[in-house]
Structure 1
Amino acid sequence: MNESGLNPMVQDEYRIDQAEGLRRMRARKPIKVIAIASGKGGVGKTNIAVNLAVALAQQGAKPLLFDADLGLGNVDVLLGLSPRYNLSHVISGEKSMEEVLITGPWNIRILPAASGVAQMANLDTQSQANLIQGIGDLSLDMDYLLIDLPAGIAGDVLTFSQAAQEVLVVLSNEPASITDAYALIKVLSRNHGVRRFKVLPNMVRDRREGDALFQRIAKVADGFLDVTLEQIGSVPLDPALRAAVRSQKAVVEMYPDAPVSRALQDLAMAVERWPHAYNASGHMAFFMERLLMKHPEISI
């Protein structure tokens, strides 16, 4: 017997069981899957996705950034990266998901999309599900999957948004951006059962403009749609972002004290406070479960 009152052999077995229990608990650790969307291009959506990933990593999280603009990806371009392979090589069977993974600033992991590959922009739902299954099978420690969606309401946008835990809609203070963001929310809610949306006004002059922009879209949505919209701050128009883009750097890394960086750091802290999905059984299981519920024709 020892000070714990346990036989040493029993205590060793207890430690082994405890370690195995911790290992299993970590293996089941749910991740937050966030689809970052916009009704139209040019609103800064990919910059939000890239800098959110870096800001989360700066706070100690382990994000995986999935460039889901499969035929016209540019996450790698924004960060000055030159991947040898991309997701088109996974779809073709030439490479595994692990082999196309690249590492960006602050050790964020990135799944790069193809650029200028037409067939990647028109993947069927089964192929999209296979990609998600491949991400779920990665032996990768991650807290977040950030999905940088293509702009608009194409099939891949709808598929990934339906299954994500959170849909973050980025918009700017332009009539077309507001109209198209509303159209995206309308299609996802009426046709695909997505009821909750986070809304992020981007490239605004100040917080008041951001609040007013959110109120404009929320007022219309409240009148015609059965949805819940939540504003999660706003991001100012800041020349520091343009300078960072020219340098192919994340602005939160290159100019951490700039107003745009502070807003993005606040966004990352807000995201950290979002609850996990109630039905998250671990890794990507809940994501695939929801995808299969929406698309019973998928086989995995």
Structure 2
Amino acid sequence: MSTANYYVPAQSRWPIFASLALFMLALGAGTLINGLRTDSGGVGLVILLSGALLMGLILVGWFGNVIKESRTGLYSEQMDRSFRWGMMWFIFSEVMFFAAFFGTLFYVRTLAVPWLGGEGEKGVSNMLWQGFQAQWPLMTTPDMEQFPGPQAIIEPWHLPLLNTVLLISSSFTVTIAHHALKADRRPRVVLWLAATIGLGAAFLLFQVMEYIEAYQEMGLTLHAGIYGATFFVLTGFHGLHVTLGTLMLSIIWLRVLKGHFEPDNHFGFEAVAWYWHFVDVVWIGLFLFVYIL
């Protein structure tokens, strides 16, 4: 088919399989979170891991098809524009995804907590929790026996600050790699892309260390009141995005080693770079509103 024509992919089984995998991920995560104190937690973990494995296999096959189509010259300029618009809308959907959780944090801190403390028109809510003192983060819960609050909060100027430096640095390294690719300097692309992957992996390692410290030494868990819930939902979903971004960067790095991409035709690389910059910007918001303020 001539590259001047618009390429229409053949019917694919990947979308329906991906929908099934996403359903398993959502079902498994919900069952796991709601069943941590019951036997259903183990079932949720199995469903979650099965969905993750299925999604991984789907992405390998699906991306493999796209790479093959691209390498055989089936894509035109119109297809390239379609990919770019698709990636922009995808990132916009991710922006709104995190906006919902940041909105929850704003609502709790700015509205709900002061109301419970006796402020505003809904100050009567104070009757629901006698003796409640409006402060953030909330270190107590209405039922301290079943849902104890955290004993301490994470200091922002240690691991969180280090992770901030790592992610901001990774934005610079992936940009250097991008410019090197446009200049057709592949050894530099390989080097700086590997550095970006290393920084992303280091971020994830330090986040795991932070979680272990929070659970074991601070009593900061998903059940530690609204502070624990919002903390782990926001940082956990971000960590999931960093994991996905690091995997995407690794795939791009392998493709560069195999000679893929041209200085004037490398949207696969650009798309991953866009996604990585988005992940970095979200972390800056998390560092400010979750850890510092």
User: Normalised by the shorter chain, which TM-score bucket?
Assistant: under 0.3
Q: Which has the higher strand share?
A: 1
Structure of greater Rg: 2
TM-score norm. by structure 1 comes to 0.23
Q: Which has the higher helix share?
A: 2
Q: Which has the higher contact order (CA 8 A, sep 6+)?
A: 1
TM-score norm. by structure 2 comes to 0.23
